[in-house]
Structure 1
Amino acid sequence: MLDARLHSVDSTVPARGPAAGEPRPSRQEAEAAVRTLIRWAGDHPGREGLLDTPARVVRAYEEWFGGYALDPEVILGRHFDRAGYDDVVLLRDIPVRSVCEHHMAAIRGVAHVAYLPGERVVGISKLARLVDAYARRLQIQERLTAEIADTLQHVLQPRGVAVVVQASHDCIASRGVGMHGVAMVTRRLLGRFEQEPYRTDVLAALAV
């Protein structure tokens, strides 16, 4: 049974990243940290099956958290004249693969992104890349939703933006209450999509 918790995200989101002046740990330091966690879990990082695990984990982290190396505004930097089109642009079912910042457990789901063009439109692949850039960071779903919407609004200056994210969280499925099949839904509506009849129309188009 699907238990969907619906949140409307209204706060602005500050930029995130490494603290100013704080050096990034070296690859060797990161691998040493993984060996420490293996020992803490009760195993031996020197045994055959775990010898290469620290290096594999660090390589995986480079992929999973590659969003920190991306500038989402640059992703949307190339846009085009809307060529007379003035209705909604909507991209559904964009895969979301993220990591919860509280327990570093997986977040998996989909995002739906819609906007009502102003003077410019952007290639649809850029919408998917925008979602992925923010997802590949330590996240909470509420902030992920707001970051996607606010960046799209800031860069393209459309007449309206709507972002809906639906995802399951391993932090609730694999620990604590251990509840499977639970989905969380968050949404952020900006501009004309905050008002009727646009609000009802876009939410119907997003089927949420």
Structure 2
Amino acid sequence: MDAVIKNFPPHADQGTDAAGKKHSMHKPLTDRPSQQEVEAAVTTLLRWTGDDIAREGLIETPARVAKAFREMFSGYDQSPEDELGRTFEEVQGYDDMVLIKDMSFHSHCEHHMVPIIGKAHVAYLPDGKVVGLSKIARVVDIFARRLQTQEAMTAQIATVIQDVLKPRGVAVLIEAEHMCMAMRGIRKQGSTTLTTTFTGVFKTDFQEQARFMTMLRDKHG
């Protein structure tokens, strides 16, 4: 039997701004400046460092930085809901845990705009339908390619999977190194931060939480 595929519309309102107005989770809240304005801003920052903006190595840097930022923060133009909207219901009765682990990502701290480098581990308990494994990885990348805190990113991944797929539960664990700790301030290289979010059965059943953690540690899990 062929797989049954359903497409779900993206959620229109997924967040609230400081004024209490709802907004889309995947659309920027502000109008973007022009390319010229971005390059001028980068030039100002280069001057502020004390370097010579006229030297050969920096002449094209403002344009390169603008191009790099467009790629590194492309998550604002992408919809995690859309990625999860295509599901498969012909799962041959499978209803046990689906775990995708060791998904590497690069994000940026919203406080200092320096890198967050880590791995995400995501599991869910299907309730009649599953989603392509690459879609979970894409959701991680979409949220990573925004200014983030690790805590918020962990919750965002779990929430959108729960809201769109409506599984019996979602478990997300993120482990990451924050360059704002390694490069500045206390300068503690190699320290790792772990955050978790559990929904549904994973939140209420500690045995399922324990099974999730055990499967993460198991090289063959």
State TM-score, norm by structure 1.
0.90
1:166 is matched with 175
1:77 is matched with 85
Residues 107 and 167 of structure 1 are in contact (CA less than 8 Å); yes or no, is this contact kept in structure 2? yes
What is the letter of the counterpart of residue 179 of structure 1? K
Alignment of 1:30-109 (within 5 A): 30-81=38-89, 82-109=91-118
Q: Deviations for 1:46-68, whole angstroms, at most 9, x for unmatched residues? A: 22110000000001001100100
Q: Deviations for 1:153-202, whole angstroms, at most 9, x for unmatched residues? A: 00000001000000001000000111011000000011001113212211
Secondary structure of 1:197's counterpart equals helix
Higher relative contact order by CA 8 Å / sep ≥ 6: 1 or 2?
Answer: 1
Residues 101 and 17 of structure 1, relative CA distance in 2, 3 Å threshold: farther
| Equivalent position to 1:200, from 210, 216, 220 | 210
Alignment of 1:149-164 (within 5 A): 149-164=158-173
The alpha-carbon deviation at position 119 of structure 1 amounts to: 1.4
- Give the Cα–Cα distance (whole angstroms) in 2 for the partners of residues 189 and 139 of structure 1: 19
Secondary structure of 1:25's counterpart equals coil
Q: Which runs of 5+ in 1 are unaligned?
A: 1-11
| Equivalent position to 1:148, from 149, 157, 164 | 157
Residues 143 and 156 of structure 2 are in contact (CA less than 8 Å); yes or no, is this contact kept in structure 1? yes
| Equivalent position to 1:26, from 30, 34, 56 | 34
- Give the Cα–Cα distance (whole angstroms) in 1 for the partners of residues 71 and 26 of structure 2: 18
Residues 27 and 77 of structure 2 are in contact (CA less than 8 Å); yes or no, is this contact kept in structure 1? no
Secondary structure of 1:56's counterpart equals helix
What is the letter of the counterpart of residue 174 of structure 1? M
The alpha-carbon deviation at position 96 of structure 1 amounts to: 1.5
The alpha-carbon deviation at position 44 of structure 1 amounts to: 2.1
The alpha-carbon deviation at position 16 of structure 1 amounts to: 6.7
What is the letter of the counterpart of residue 192 of structure 1? V
Q: Number of residue pairs matched?
A: 195
- Give the Cα–Cα distance (whole angstroms) in 2 for the partners of residues 141 and 154 of structure 1: 20
Q: Which runs of 5+ in 2 are unaligned?
A: 1-13, 17-24
Secondary structure of 1:175's counterpart equals coil
The alpha-carbon deviation at position 205 of structure 1 amounts to: 1.4
The alpha-carbon deviation at position 83 of structure 1 amounts to: 2.7
- Give the Cα–Cα distance (whole angstroms) in 2 for the partners of residues 16 and 69 of structure 1: 6
1:110 is matched with 119
- Give the Cα–Cα distance (whole angstroms) in 2 for the partners of residues 87 and 203 of structure 1: 15
The alpha-carbon deviation at position 40 of structure 1 amounts to: 0.4
Percent identity over paired residues: 50
